[in-house]
A and B are shown apart, each in its own frame.
Chain A
């Protein structure tokens, strides 16, 4: 059976790259006594995949992994079993048993579902932006002007080429306050917003300077925009050299877009 596991990644674990996280979970499943389905062949491995790989240095409240198990207990029991073998920096918050695929249906992977993701991008303590942008208010004002542009062009570098891309259409939500972010989010969600975490709460790092922005951007295999790139474009706009180490990116949630009404559904609310 196919299951979807939701987890948080925080603290020192933000330095573990996503391939190592995959290896980590393969071993964690074994420690927890999960019975995985294996690929066939002489070097069988557990069937497991991530919805949207997280970059090095980024923390998250909403990571998703799909796996295939031979058997499963109640979701709550499975969550407890897996949490019992986690190291500090990984915490399981969800476990959904997905519906079996009907005969004529195409197989879906978590990765193919992803359309969008929410982030908080915070200025780390000990860093400044520029002489004219010192406070939370300065930042909000400047960022609003930045985002109000018709076009935000940036050079996107790949291994092979450099392309000038307009990233403005890939940015959906820009908010600076948790409540406003939630209000705006509620309008575009298919289902009402629900606290997805257990008592653990959000693991996003909170900084004294209070300078942060909530961003909702295109994510996934069709279109993908890294929040770091938005910040780099912002620095270009204010004409200050970009310091990528100054910002902590934290992912909040990953969504798929409903084909009919275009509303967002978080991956843990899907049946498949």
Chain B
């Protein structure tokens, strides 16, 4: 029988002990004694969230296909167990073998959102691994960072031995081969890192020095080790239909956020919304083949027993074979008690037909993400959704019986004015009016509109990486303004307004575009008790403010500052394919309120074509004759 790292007494004293026992369906069982390499994958948040992440499942599958490697998992212990582990000095353990993480060769941490940074330190400390990479010795695992936050790894660079920039499918096998060979030759920690630095996509922070100008901006990023590349090239898996896909994903015992089969239909997005980092860093857009997806759906439903399947992508409506795929899923699995969970789709006759087949109209809602309240601002952010689209789509849906609408907006977008904000209220009201155009006896009670605003956080590798971010005071004033405007609308009683916290977004803004000087702040805030910052019940902004103050850092230097077009950014040593030149051109187009066509309409020369595949090489002749002003 499997042994457990924690005693019965501890497990019965904490909330949801199933978070810590492993043993789930499709868990890999190997004999650690027979392994050359032990790899622990970590999602630095609570189990139910971490287990819902597709990326780890993919890597878990890839690494465990190797006979010489045992890949296991670890998640952040919840605060109750955290306390006990510190008191009793219990080392953090991997779920599979229940062995201490500190005895592994690698600890790979996925960085999906900035607010997990203190949880990274918790993982390291509970594992009894030195927090700073420079303090680690031959006996410690190599700590790797991966995921979207590594596109600016600088605020946490000091805590990692190296970062894997890009998609995990391409280089992990090479890393492990290199490591194994180095171990055989008895190479030292630093020698191994030098070898790893030769692998494309790997960034070893210790091999670079950052110099700053007097005004606080970055002056230069200089490598201090000849083995390091000048530029680190993002990794992209170009053949997604032959790539690894975890057809036997883990099935947790307790309900995870994603309690279903997740089918990734494509990677990347053709749209080019200017606020969206994913839309830039995952270029070029690559589709998985229909037949491959059908096969995966069968196998995954079979191996997991899940009763629901959902499609994953940045913009599912743009997937070429969406209709065929969705109708296939409904016909093939709908009768077998499998729910088809639809991603947010463009509202048209197809999506309305599908929605009426798989959802209860009375309970489900329509979702639109106009992101901005006016057409002017939607042009600025290049969000190609018009008021006509929204009202037309909503109107059709209302005719078919829907009466709930969810609207997502961002506040604090570059060039935003009071009129743009008011536009959110007006648009919400127009949708309600559209509903009440239906004769009373034909409609389904009252309409229910929920408008949510989040605060815009400029991200690296987007056209808005130069932009100034609002202060929390400005955000709150805008939010209040919108509240008042909504109250002035005719259908105010049908409109519900939700908003996000401003402090959290501001801190996210610092981490998103911060540099190496931020790491000490993160360290201090963690030592002062900050943890689970993405959980509003634990987020303590005052502690963070204190940590900035103690380090003499004005955090608004990172957020409320419009960057010079020439400024060197902390993340500029990374080559994501999309060029800085393109991003700047897009930034200027934004300010000129000029829309840019999507990748299917025309190639705008963003630079992602250098990866040699995907949408960049697909037929665009059907749209011949469409000229694109923005490329000029």
A contact residues vs B (CB 8 Å cutoff) = 10-13, 15-17, 20, 23-24, 26-31, 36, 38, 42-46, 56-57, 85, 87-89, 124, 245, 248
Q: Which residues of B contact A38 (CB under 8 A)?
A: 337
Q: Which residues of B contact A28 (CB under 8 A)?
A: 25, 305
Q: Mark B235-257, 1 if CB is under 8 A from A, else 0.
A: 00000000000000001011100
Assuming the A-B contacts A28-B305, A44-B337, are A23 and B23 also in contact, with contact meaning beta carbons closer than 8 angstroms in the complex?
no
Q: How far is the CA of A87 from the CA of B301 in the complex (A)?
A: 17
A12 touches B12 (CB 8 A): no
* New A-B contacts (5) at CB < 8 Å, excluding given A16-B253, A27-B25, A28-B25: A15-B12, A15-B18, A20-B253, A27-B304, A31-B25
Q: Which residues of A contact B25 (CB under 8 A)?
A: 24, 27-28, 31, 85, 87
Q: Mark B23-44, 1 if CB is under 8 A from A, else 0.
A: 1110100000000000000000
Q: Which residues of B contact A46 (CB under 8 A)?
A: 337
Q: Which of A12, A36, A43 contacts B23 (CB 8 A)?
A: A12
Is B618 an interface position by the 8 A CB rule? no
Shortest distance in angstroms between A149's beta carbon and chain B's nearest beta carbon?
29
Q: Which residues of A contact B251 (CB under 8 A)?
A: 27
Top 5 A-B residue pairs of the complex, sorted by shortest distance between their CB atoms = A27-B305, A30-B305, A42-B360, A31-B305, A15-B17
Is B4 an interface position by the 8 A CB rule? yes
Closest to A127 in B: B9
How many pairs, one residue from A and one from B, have CB atoms within 8 Å of each other in the complex? 80
B305 touches A124 (CB 8 A): no
Shortest distance in angstroms between A87's beta carbon and chain B's nearest beta carbon?
6
B11 touches A15 (CB 8 A): yes
Is B306 an interface position by the 8 A CB rule? yes
B2 touches A12 (CB 8 A): yes
B303 touches A31 (CB 8 A): yes
Q: How far is the CA of A15 from the CA of B303 in the complex (A)?
A: 23
Closest to A34 in B: B305
Q: Which residues of B contact A56 (CB under 8 A)?
A: 12, 17
B253 touches A57 (CB 8 A): no
User: Majority SS of interface residues in chain A?
Assistant: mixed
Shortest distance in angstroms between B77's beta carbon and chain A's nearest beta carbon?
15
Is B509 an interface position by the 8 A CB rule? no
B23 touches A87 (CB 8 A): yes
Q: Which residues of A contact B17 (CB under 8 A)?
A: 15, 56
A27 touches B306 (CB 8 A): yes
A23 touches B8 (CB 8 A): no
A–B complex contacts, Cβ < 8 Å, 28 sampled: A12-B1, A12-B4, A12-B22, A15-B11, A15-B12, A15-B17, A15-B21, A16-B18, A16-B253, A23-B253, A24-B253, A27-B25, A27-B304, A27-B306, A28-B305, A29-B305, A30-B307, A30-B337, A31-B302, A43-B339, A43-B360, A56-B12, A56-B17, A85-B25, A85-B305, A88-B23, A89-B23, A245-B12
Q: Which residues of A contact B253 (CB under 8 A)?
A: 16, 20, 23-24
Is B363 an interface position by the 8 A CB rule? yes
Shortest distance in angstroms between A21's beta carbon and chain B's nearest beta carbon?
8
Q: Which residues of B contact A124 (CB under 8 A)?
A: 8
A42 touches B363 (CB 8 A): yes
Q: Which residues of A contact B18 (CB under 8 A)?
A: 15-17, 20
Assuming the A-B contacts A29-B305, A31-B304, A87-B24, are A11 and B2 also in contact, with contact meaning beta carbons closer than 8 angstroms in the complex?
yes
Q: How far is the CA of A15 from the CA of B16 in the complex (A)?
A: 8
Shortest distance in angstroms between B13's beta carbon and chain A's nearest beta carbon?
8
Shortest distance in angstroms between B262's beta carbon and chain A's nearest beta carbon?
15
Q: How far is the CA of A29 from the CA of B307 in the complex (A)?
A: 11
B21 touches A12 (CB 8 A): yes
Shortest distance in angstroms between B597's beta carbon and chain A's nearest beta carbon?
40
Closest to A10 in B: B1
Q: How far is the CA of A259 from the CA of B47 in the complex (A)?
A: 48
